[in-house]
Structure 1
């Protein structure tokens, strides 16, 4: 039987969209993705810039192959609002830029910029200690791994984000993991500058770092395999750590950073980064826990702690 078509009334929301049609005819069995694509082609606009909402209740019409026009409740002569979200940037690109700062800043601070940054300290500046070189190496390894995962591991549920947000998203990593840690840990008078570091802290830190990085990668691979390429479908994650907390990838991330904290000879700047990042991850993890409970119902075993087993 042939699909029933409906004609929807199209109204711009916010600033006008050039060439946006006043009406569009589409099958009730068509997907939300097809509606987005049709309006993008008609208005010569990137599909990622468009957000479509129902005029009746302002609910979003998802850009998804899993939701049909009929599923949304749209019918003949229904009104839809189309908003131009502005210039967009790919999430993968955002992540690459975010991690690039703290990837290169430590080495810059430790070597070519050293004499310029610490101009007010006694001269001549002594060379960086082995402990400071080790912290730099750990930071480099961590963010190289992040870049690798961004390119080869992660699958993103949303293709793009507003381009203006790149500055806000990058500030956390560039400022706190880059400038903050590098400046204080690599100072000639920092605790890590000593020629006789506490080796107990160094060995324990290296063990935590290696453990955290390895199992953080494992958790990311598990999460990657829950989503088929090109889809936003999710499954219930299982594997090492997932029976303990909602987001073991965050737990192992914190463990790795605690390793860097120990190797740095307990630098407050590293601890500050862990605290700020931990609060943000805790917030994200609780939102994911709530989504899992809602999406999977009784199939999902609820967690009481979301990032650190038994704590939070």
Structure 2
């Protein structure tokens, strides 16, 4: 048993004024154990709020890292830093809040057009299809959040919940709902009557492609879930349906689903959400693709792209 000093990398929170802190550790002590010791001293400074790093390096240390691998076998005199990440909220909660926005917003615009457009009108089949697509998509997202997804990171800063939710509540919620349920797309609008937007065969074909994309997206989420045993952060190379050509087929199928909505409506709001979402998912996919290649090396299939087969 030796002593280890924990200093504060920034101004500590008001409920944790005892830094620097000295704790007793062994060669088997992990970063998670250090966090637990700090939380035991300052209960409000719970582990999820803490970022532990070396004094000479600001990079966060993994919870399962042993101190002996960081500071050598001679731990006496070693020093780590802790930074307060602020109040935390679980990723599962964040996702539930993000996806519930469109589920509330779209019915308000769809069922109460007089409030937003000043008059009532008959919805076109196009609007009915789009409404069904949006509601089913986000209901699926909520169910996946509760029953399918396993998160490698348990929490995120509470303040980020507003930024993350804005994308869904504003772009796929307010903007999309206001645009696609307005009179321009109604059953008697010349923009719809006599066009492909009112063609039953086209609408059924669009529904078929959309359903294919949604079910394929669900399938890849289930594949990813089965790669990670409950309660672990285990990562394995994903194989199977969708993964032959790209590292992130879930994003690829998501893109297809929203592209269907854009093609059906040609709504400027739909296109804005589609472009913004596609760029964001492409950046996520490229990062995950690089991480896969770095982590698994030669074991990772070299022919895969990040998100779009043969392209990116």
TM normalised by structure 2 equals 0.91
Indicate yes or no: 2:16 matched with 1:15: no
What CA RMSD, in Å, does the superposition of the two structures yield over aligned residues? 1.8
Q: Does 1:233 align with 2:231?
A: no
Following superposition, the deviation at residue 200 of structure 1 comes to: 4.2
Question: 1:132·1:185 contact (CA, 8 Å) conserved in 2?
Answer: yes
How far the C-alpha of 1:293 sits from its partner, in A, is 0.8
The number of equivalent residue pairs is 300
How far residue 18 of structure 1 moved from its aligned partner, in angstroms, is 3.2
Q: Is the 8 A contact 1:56 1:79 kept in 2?
A: no
Q: Name the structure 2 match of 1:280.
A: 280
Tell me which residue corresponds to 1:269.
269
Deviation of 1:271 (Å): 2.2
Once the two structures are TM-superposed, the CA of residue 32 in structure 1 deviates from its matched residue by 1.9
Q: Does the 8 Å CA contact 1:91/1:158 hold for their aligned counterparts?
A: yes
Aligned to 2:114: 115
Against the structure 1 CA distance between its residues 189 and 57, is the aligned structure 2 distance closer, same or farther, given a 3 Å change threshold? closer
Secondary structure, counterpart of 2:265 in structure 1: coil
Instruction: Please state how far the C-alpha of 1:304 moved relative to its aligned partner.
Output: 5.3
| Aligned counterpart, 1:73 | 71
Cα deviation code 1:241-272 (max 9, x no counterpart):
1011110001111112122233x433232222
- Secondary structure at the aligned position of 1:189 is classed as helix
The answer to whether 1:6 aligns with 2:2 is: yes
Distance 2:297 2:52 in 1: 28
- 5 Å-filtered alignment, 1:1-312, equals 5-16=1-12, 17-20=16-19, 22-44=21-43, 45-64=45-64, 67-73=65-71, 75-112=75-112, 114-119=113-118, 124-190=119-185, 194=192, 196=194, 197-262=198-263, 264-303=264-303, 305-312=305-312
Q: Distance in 2 between matches of 1:210 and 1:220?
A: 15
Q: Structure 1: how far apart are the matches of 2:167 and 2:58?
A: 33
- Aligned residues of 1:157 and 1:232 also touching (Cα < 8 A): yes
For the 8 Å contact 1:289–1:302, the answer to whether it is kept is no
Write the distance in 2 (CA, Å) between the matches of 1:191 and 1:127: 6
* CA distance in structure 2 between the aligned counterparts of 1:174 and 1:291, rounded to whole angstroms: 30
Q: Are the equivalent residues in 2 in contact too, given 1:14–1:83 (CA < 8 A)?
A: yes
Q: Deviations over 1:47-106 (max 9, x none)?
A: 100111111333322223xx2111223622111111111111110000000000112211
Q: Matches of 1:266 and 1:200 in 2, distance apart?
A: 18
Unaligned runs of 5+ in 2: none
**Cα separation, 1, equivalents of 2:303 and 2:274:** 23
Offset at 1:295?
Answer: 0.4
CA distance in 1, matches of 2:116, 2:226: 45
